[in-house]
Structure formats: structure tokens, C-alpha cells
Amino acid sequence: MTERRTALVTGGGSGIGRAISRRLAADGFAVAVLDLDHDSAKRVTEEIAADGHEASAFGGVDVSDRAALSAAVDGVRERFGPILVLVNNAGLSGFRPFLKISEAAWDKIIAVNLSAPFYLTQAVLPDMIAAKWGRIVNISSSSAQGGQQYMTHYVSSKAGLIGMTKSLALEFGPDGITANTIPPGFIDTPMMRDSERRGLLGGSVEDNAQRIPVRRPGTPEDIAAATSFLCRDEAGYITGQIIGVNGGRVT
């Protein structure tokens, strides 16, 4: 990277988003850490600053609110300039029998996991088109590749994100913009540990890890490493791809 570029990471205040924010900052990007939790976003930017890199927190932003997202994008541009890397990471999980998924629960998960990436991508694409360079990385889910019982609303939203990624790649490749998706599989995050505490995993995280070919859960840093590569100049010939980071759990 020959000059500083700006990256926006949603859900950047914890888990996978935190790891991606820190990794992209270490790679030389100015990172806008966007999160619903202002304190979490602020802590991550402080960690990045302590490492000698540049970041700014944009907390209290509900990604399902298009007006709030537009205001945040304007704030990022004012702080750092054009946004040339977008990581749509913010997500909402759900675990409910199909016949008990309410319309409100369906709408909320679609709003956060699919509509928000649509809103944000529309908002930042003009910057990328003008620069003739851009990187879009959508964090989907391995459950969208194989399905998952009791999570139809979540799986549907993440499968839609995969389809959106492929369509973006085809449309904007001529503009120097790549779009790829990473579907994480069994990553040790606070959300995963919460599922463990609620008895939703059919055992402990460690028990489940023994059924994965590499015999360990993934880490947020595993996802951050793949994201880092996809955001480099060297990855300019990779677009429209599903880059599974799952220890061989899904092949």
C-alpha cells in the first residue's frame, strides 16, 4: 500500500470485528471502528492507538438505521477522507424453531445482517469508483453454506449476503473494486461462548472442536488474517469468492 487508505469496519468493537480493526490498522489503514456499543468501539481505538496506529470510534450506531449509517459515513469521510475498504461484519444471531420465528424477529435479523451491508455498500461505493480501487469484505457464516436447524432467519440473511457479494463482484470489477465473503466456522468469540452457556452447542466449545479437522476452534485473528489479505493490492484478482475460514469444518 503506497498511501494511507481508510477502512470502515462494522461491529468493530468486539470479537471478530475487533480483531479485523486491529489487523487493518497494523496494515497501515486508517480504521473507522463502527459499533452499536460506543464504549467497546472506543476501547478498540485506544488499543490501536497504543500500538501506534490510527483509528477513530463511531459508536452508538445502529446499522439497521439507514439514516444513522449515512451520518456515520459522513463522519468517517470528514475524519479520514474517502472510504476505500468496507468490512461488513456487524451481525445478529438467532436460535428459534422455524414455526416460532416471529415476523419481528425475522425483520430484525434481515435488517442487521443483510439490509445494513446493502445500505453501507451503496453509501461507500462512490468513493471506490472515484478512486478506481476498492475492497469489500462481507463476513457471512458457514451455516449459510450447509444450513442450520433452528436458525432459518439467521441462515437466510447470511446466504443473502453471499449472493450480494457475488453480484457486487460482477458489477464493479471493471471499476477496480473486489467483493469477497468470508464465512467463519466455529470461531471462539463472546457470542459463541454465550451459546455455550445457553446449552445451544450440544456440548462445550472444546468438545465441538474435536470434531473439526484441525482440532481447535477458530480465533477472531484467523478471520482478521484472511480479511487482511483480501484488502491488499496483491488480492486484486480475487473477487466474488467465498473464502471459508473454518478449520476444514465445511469444504
For 166-177, the pLDDT digits (tens) are: 999 999 999 999
* Predicted pLDDT of residue 59: 95
pLDDT at 236: 98
pLDDT given for residue 16 in this prediction: 97
Among 87-91, 204-208, 232-236, the least confident range: 204-208
The whole-number pLDDT of residue 190 equals: 82
pLDDT at res. 171: 98
pLDDT value of position 241: 98
Q: What is the pLDDT of residue 195?
A: 84
**pLDDT, mean of residues 212-223:** 94
Mean pLDDT score across all residues of the chain: 95
pLDDT in tens, 123-168: 999 999 999 999 999 999 999 999 999 999 999 999 999 999 999 9
Q: Give the residue from 217, 241, 100 showing the smallest Cα distance to 165.
A: 241
CATH of domain 6-188+220-235: 3.40.50.720
Q: What angle do CA 189, 61, 130 make, to 5 degrees?
A: 100
Four-CA torsion 90, 92, 93, 95, nearest 10 degrees: -170
Q: Which active-site residues does the annotation give?
A: 154
Residue pair 113/157 in contact (Cβ under 8 Å)? The answer is yes
Least trusted range by pLDDT, from 15-29, 38-52, 123-137, 178-192 = 178-192
Task: Assign 248 a pLDDT band (cuts: 50, 70, 90).
Answer: very high
Which residue matches cell numbers 467497546? 40
Q: Measure the CA–CA gap between 18 and 233, rounded to whole angstroms.
A: 22
pTM of the model: 0.95
Q: With a cut of 50, say whether residue 24 has pLDDT above it.
A: yes
Is the pLDDT confidence value at 206 over 70? Answer: yes
Grid coordinates belonging to 211: 470434531
Judge contact between 75 and 61, C-beta under 8 A: no
pLDDT of residue 77 exceeding 80, the answer is: yes
Q: In terms of Cα–Cα distance, which of 149, 139, 38 is closest to 92?
A: 139
